[in-house]
Amino acid sequence: MLSSYVKKILAAPVYDVAQQTPLQPARMLSEQLGNQVLLKREDLQPTFSFKIRGAYTRLAQLSEQQRARGVITASAGNHAQGVALAARELGIVATIVMPTTTPELKVGGVRSRGGNVLLHGDSFPQALVHALALAEEQGATFVPPYDDPDVIAGQGTVAMEILRQQPGALDAIFVPVGGGGLIAGIAAYVKYLRPEVKVIGVEPHDSNCLQAAMMAGERVVLPQVGSFAEGVAVAQIGAHCFDICRHHVDAVITVSSDELCAAIKDIYDDTRSITEPSGALAVAGIKKYVAQTGARGQTLVAIDSGANVNFDRLRHVAERAELGEQREAIIAVTIPEQPGSFKAFCQALGKRQITEFNYRYHSGKDAHLFVGVQTHPLTDPRDELLSSLGEQGFPVLDLTDNELAKLHIRHTVGGHAGPGANERVLRFEFPERPGALLNFLERLGKRWSITMFHYRNHGAAEGRVFAALDVPQEERHLLPELLDSMGYRWWDETENPAYRLFLGV
């Protein structure tokens, strides 16, 4: 099987539109990790993503009759731009079905490359179903985003370039994984020519379809998929892709959203370029691999797969990067509600820099502070900060890994619920588009009063809301059914310690 893929990779006509991208040393990251880290700069492609390779290879195989009938695909962005550009170069009419939640940057990118954009559905699966129906109805060719031998071969040309650019020492290649086209192409080529080189997939911890399949020994469908790294938000690995990956991928690493934000910053520090979250997966994976294995003196390649990031998202990335680097801790501290307490707390921190400080007076003997504190994973780790404050008599709660605290509480510290409140505290995610917040509120209904609400637009495909409803005790059994009927992901955060401490009764 590998030999047939290698032949297809060597014959793939990608350079009609794509570029051979540089394999660039990441000097600062290499020094930090004690290994030679090389970035394969696929973000420098004409569409700012590797996807143009597979899209052009697939379209180039079409007959004249197929080209005349046009092509259709479904995509949330990078594949769409690749198909649009490839079709324009080959004189083919391309229709791209995109979810209504797709950022305008990617919609504009498709249109600017000659693609006809059709917005349909709140998510990729809905767009995909519509695209497949249109292709059958119109007799057009559907162009798969990843699960196709020609697409896999086109993506495999990335590996062909890496082995030519780095003929010497090479220990492992780290590859971002969505549907699996890129890692399948890379694994097929590398394991045929240099089987000693490890091929390691990297996925978000909440979109780990390849890892789940490898563990199960068969393809599985994830019940839910995280949306932060939207370029790899796929519920099931491709069938053709898994046939290769199950035998030739050495390992799969998962990383958190905060670790992705830190990796975006690492790439910026070394290259002065801004990568989309999915594009930074491989760097985040290398950092985790080195931390877990203690690897030193190795040559490690990270595929920087794309740079199609909405500018609005950068504020969220910047806010979370220090947490991902373990250079900031988010804590809740209880101090006496009396003069001099703030000063005593600041003295207890010593020379540590305060990065965030939230407080509002609350009657009683204690005050609660929501504080960000600068740390360092080596010279001043988080656990030492917590131990130090505890030893000095300050009750402290670590909120660094508390998603409610990081997304919402830090922006809503302001007062507690009144006596006798029947608050049920909830966190939601809903498809982000114009009018989405109003639609959410309408679906929430008017049965119970809203007692607290926080929403912040992060420029992502998912909107995030933190809300409290005044639900009498005798009606609480009705709440889950109402929430499920809304059709949105939701979490009950009523017992979350961050809420209880700063906003609860």
Reply yes or no on domain 51-142 having CATH 3.40.50.1100: yes
Decide if 277 contacts 318 (C-beta within 8 A).
no
Q: Which stretches of the chain drop beneath a pLDDT of 50?
A: none
> Can you count the helices (H) and strands (E) in the chain?
21, 18
Which residues are CB-neighbours of 392 under 8 A, at least 6 positions away? 348
Domain ranges of the chain: 2-50+149-322, 51-142, 326-401, 416-502
pLDDT at 406: 86
Give the DSSP letter string of 64-104.
Answer: HHHHHH-EEEE-SSHHHHHHHHHHHHHT--EEEEE-TTS-H
pLDDT at 92: 96
pLDDT at 18: 96
Write phi, then psi, for 324 (nearest 5 degrees): -65, -30
pLDDT at 460: 61
Element (H, E) at 172: strand 172-176
pLDDT at 140: 96
pLDDT at 418: 64
pLDDT at 458: 59
Note the Cα 382 to chain centre separation in Å.
25
* Catalytic center residues: 51, 305
According to CATH, the topology of domain 416-502 is Biosynthetic Threonine Deaminase; domain 3 (3.40.1020)
Amino acid in the structure at residue 123: S
pLDDT at 72: 97
Q: What mean pLDDT, rounded, does the chain reach?
A: 89
According to CATH, the topology of domain 2-50+149-322 is Rossmann fold (3.40.50)
Task: Check for a shared fold between 2-50+149-322 and 416-502.
Answer: no
pLDDT at 436: 66
What is the rounded CA–CA span in Å between residue 446 and residue 491? 20
Handedness of CA 314, 319, 320, 326 (dihedral sign): positive
Distances (CA, A) of 11 to 384, 394, 452: 56, 66, 60
pLDDT tens, position by position, 169-208: 999 999 999 999 999 999 999 999 999 999 999 999 999 9
pTM of this prediction? Answer: 0.81
Which residues are CB-neighbours of 495 under 8 A, at least 6 positions away? none
> At the top level of CATH, which class does the domain 326-401 belong to?
alpha beta
pLDDT tens, position by position, 342-364: 778 888 888 888 877 777 655 56
* Beta-carbon count within 10 A of 153 CB: 29
